[in-house]
Chains A and B, each alone.
Chain A
Amino acid sequence: MNRIDLTIEICGLSGDGTIAAGGLLNEAMSRAGFSALAFDSYPAEIRGFGRCVTRSRFGFDRQIALENQTNLLISLDDEQSLSRLPFLAADAVVLFDNHPPSPVAEGKSIAGHARPAMSLFGAPFRDLAAAASGSAKGRNLAALGVLAGLLNLPVDAFRERIGKKFKSKGEKVAAGNIRSFDAGLEYVLKTYPDRLRPLPVPAAPAGQAEKVLWSGNVAIGEGALAAGLKNYFGYPITPATPIMEYLAARLPAKGGRVLQVEDEISAIGAVLGSFYTGARAMTATSGPGFALMTELITQAVSAESPAVIVDAQRGGPSTGLPTKTEQSDLLAAVFGGPGDTPRIVIAPTDVTECYHLTARAFPLAEKYQTPVIVLTDFYLDNRVENIERPSISADAVADALLKPAPDQAGSYHRYQVTPSGISPRALPGTPGFQHNITGLEHDERGVPDFSPGNHQKMSDKRDRKIQGALADLDPPEEYGDPGPLDVGVVAWGSTFGSALDAVQSARDQGLKVGCLKITALFPYHEDRIQAFMDRSKTILIPELNHSGQLNTLIGHLGRGRIVRLNQSTGIPLYPSTILGKIHELIGEDRS
């Protein structure tokens, strides 16, 4: 069976139905048994305002990263699509509308710019849709029909998804859209019978688990729901807003509330208030909002209040690059804010982990009475993967509140110093356990106490508690050769998938390389990381930030053998970039 590796891109102007077509493509391909990873991107330049681009990578094996090159482009608007030409493979296939309403001047058609080695397939998307449905609106579906015919994709999967998607707009619209799809299909079969490029379709293994097509944001929402989220507080910010919107459609039915509040400070404040009463609460934000939350996060550390905060990173600093991806909030998440404020920071690397780590954040926050920051990024939040529907056991998300013994009524000390650092926590409404929590340094009772011995004692307690959380955090996972490595790649977040993809390619080429995935960023498993680094001749840390923040955090474990690969471009680090660096490092080593 041929190994399929196909990246398809759809580009158009808003109103062309680009995103809808991309979504349908992903759904149909997923239904046909392909593995998919998709990421819609929004070019930064103002001139590109309104431009939509969806990119999807398909294959038989699980897709873990996007590559930098596109194999097939569907242009729904040639002027917009011209900007995509540099990202097309040399032998890319380009589908475009070859019958614009009136002839265009030279250079306005993508046909005039495509390299000769590319394969152009013109089809009158607008005319086909208009003839089939009475409206040119369905040109995106006609384009999908052309694609399906060209690649011999399972057309019933497309028809079914189209019917389902437009069902809410009435049978007539749905039927018209299916006809538009069919018109594109017929056109390509009739027009290019000798140029078709049938793609092998994966055989569906029997008993395959149900697959869902989820974005990172959806997985975060589902993870929170699985953990029994009661209250969500949020403020709109790219790229975290879809989490709020997803929960707003689902949480009320489960008896919870979604509240859009006046700012991120209010959001984290309300999360602390809700968790204070034992009701699981969450907020999700991005860099600028996270910065606003910082003071209350440090208060939560001091007052030992649980909280779950998703920081969906985007390009910074400041307002930065709202629609671009970056991994530059790591140090802010781990250390941000006044004082010594140990807290738990975890970072998923794919959509499935978005689900699990979000769900796990709640019992972690409860057990360790601390803010838990789930660090994602634009590339992870907005990517779509088709994955087996994740689930988590009730035990794994069970209430982890350590309650005080009833006989402590009347003599309860909220901040009792214990070997683990964890003090039993009483919830408001419990008779006889009234107490205050505070961000002032306090004694065991919660009463302000600024004496030297007390501050030392309480700082020790808080640190001990968080270090103890390592026992409940996923240890780093090693991939690749078990023995000595020429290059060991250490990666986190959305970059991990690209790193693993690069390492797999390098191993296929016979190189001695491996990869370490770190999801627990604070506290982190020093011994495990050290062990991996010790067997790596050179350690490569690829990160989507300028300063090498993971390297700043754990670089001391590398004993001077770390090479950084940093990129401040706002676009994902692609496997080919990391692979190139691996080649460079091994080449240097050999010379």
Chain B
Amino acid sequence: MKTPARRLAEKVQSIQESNVFNIRSGELPTWCPGCGYFGIHFGINNALQRLGLDHHQVVIVSGIGCAGRYPFFSNTYGHHTVHGRSLPVAQGVKLGNPNLTVLAVGGDGDGLGIGGGHFPHAARRNFDINYVLFDNSIYGLTKGQPSPSTPKGFKTKASPEGTVDQPLNATLLALSYGATFVARLFAGDPEGITTALMAGIRHKGFSFFHVYTSCVTFDKQFKTWNNLTNRVRPLPAGYDPADRRRAIERVLVDDDSLGIFYQEPPKGKE
């Protein structure tokens, strides 16, 4: 039986062998200790490494928020744009140089709130870009206000009586917007993120990754590590991601399954 120390040592070794740190920049992430974004960072980096992409061929575009700082921590090209506008910029980058691998990253406030108007159009336009939504259901950088995906009843300084609005379901939105690749993931499952990212980056079209994550500093009520860890589970074995209608039906009643919900099958050669 392996001791915890032994397991840790093995893990460290495998991480080192993956060269995942090569894609990190010299900047230390500014996220709080225990933040779910570390897991996402790890998952993304792993996917880029495993795909063997040259770092200089990758552009990461971000908006504003804790997730907005993401490009500073990667040794790729990065475009830190303004609040909510990562998707327009990312599409411009892809049109400017189609050889680049383009990722847009951002939080739920950035992507569902201020930038929510761009999401459907990026999805229906179906450029080959990859959009990773870090959904911790809170405005963290401004110290804890409710976001568009915050569950009802969340008490903050800005919502002392608890929130009353219906939260947005980003996976459902992406499916209904016509995104051709939709996955729901969890920051506590970096391996799952890596697997889905690799499939999504290979997918020729708009790929959407809805990543559940936790704000350890400002959310002690809903999306805590414990709550999320206890809730999530993989999609059932044999789930067929080729059927958008089935995917939508499932997402309407299932908030907890993780995996690739929908991937448009490759079209026959023209």
Contacts and interface: CB of A to CB of B under 8 A. Distances in A.
Determine direct contact between A and B, CB below 8 Å: yes
Interface of A: 230-231, 233, 257, 259, 261-263, 265-279, 281, 295-296, 299, 303, 427-440, 447-448
Nearest to A280: B96
B95 interface: yes
Contact of B91 (A270, A303, A440): A270
Contact of B79 (A233, A268, A276, A440): A276
B55 A434 contact: yes
Contacts of A259: 91, 95, 125
B203 interface: no
Given A295-B82, A436-B71, A447-B72, A261 B88 contact: yes
A296 B59 contact: no
Interface in B65-99: 69, 71-72, 75-82, 85, 87-97, 99
25 contacts: A262-B121, A266-B91, A266-B118, A273-B90, A274-B96, A275-B92, A275-B96, A276-B59, A277-B59, A277-B100, A278-B96, A295-B82, A296-B85, A303-B80, A428-B56, A429-B56, A429-B99, A429-B100, A430-B56, A431-B54, A434-B75, A434-B78, A438-B78, A439-B81, A447-B27
A231 B92 contact: yes
Give the interface centre of B27, B85, B89, B92 by most chain A CB atoms within 10 Å.
Answer: B92
Contact of A274 (B61, B71, B72, B95): B95
Given A273-B61, A296-B85, A439-B81, A432 B56 contact: yes
A439 B118 contact: no
B234 interface: no
A231 B95 contact: yes
B57 interface: yes
Contact of B78 (A266, A432, A435): A435
Given A263-B117, A430-B56, A431-B56, A273 B89 contact: yes
Contacts of A303: 79-81
A435 B56 contact: no
B228 to A, nearest CB: 30
Interface residues of B, number: 37
A279 B97 contact: yes
A262 B84 CA distance: 14
Contacts of B69: 448
Given A429-B99, A434-B55, A272 B92 contact: yes
Given A263-B117, A265-B85, A266-B118, A273 B79 contact: yes
Contacts of A275: 92, 96
Given A261-B121, A265-B85, A281 B92 contact: yes
Contact of A272 (B72, B77, B89): B89
A162 B72 CA distance: 62
Given A277-B100, A303-B79, 9 more contacts: A270-B88, A270-B91, A277-B96, A279-B96, A429-B97, A434-B78, A435-B78, A436-B77, A439-B80
Interface in B81-140: 81-82, 85, 87-97, 99-100, 117-118, 120-121, 125
Contacts, number: 137
A231 B90 CA distance: 14
Contacts of A267: 88
B31 to A, nearest CB: 14
A427 B100 CA distance: 11
A269 B95 contact: no
Given A262-B121, A296-B85, A439-B81, A269 B56 contact: no
Contacts of B80: 303, 436-440
Contacts of B90: 273
Contacts of A431: 54, 56
Contacts of B125: 259
Contacts of A432: 56
B79 to A, nearest CB: 6
Contacts of A448: 69, 72
B65 to A, nearest CB: 12
A475 to B, nearest CB: 33
A281 B85 CA distance: 17
Give the interface centre of B78, B82, B100, B118 by most chain A CB atoms within 10 Å.
Answer: B82
A268 B85 CA distance: 10
B95 A429 contact: no
A273 B99 contact: no
A269 B117 contact: no
Contact of A266 (B71, B82, B88, B100): B88
A269 B81 contact: yes
A437 B92 contact: no
A155 B27 CA distance: 75
Contact of B88 (A273, A277, A278): A273
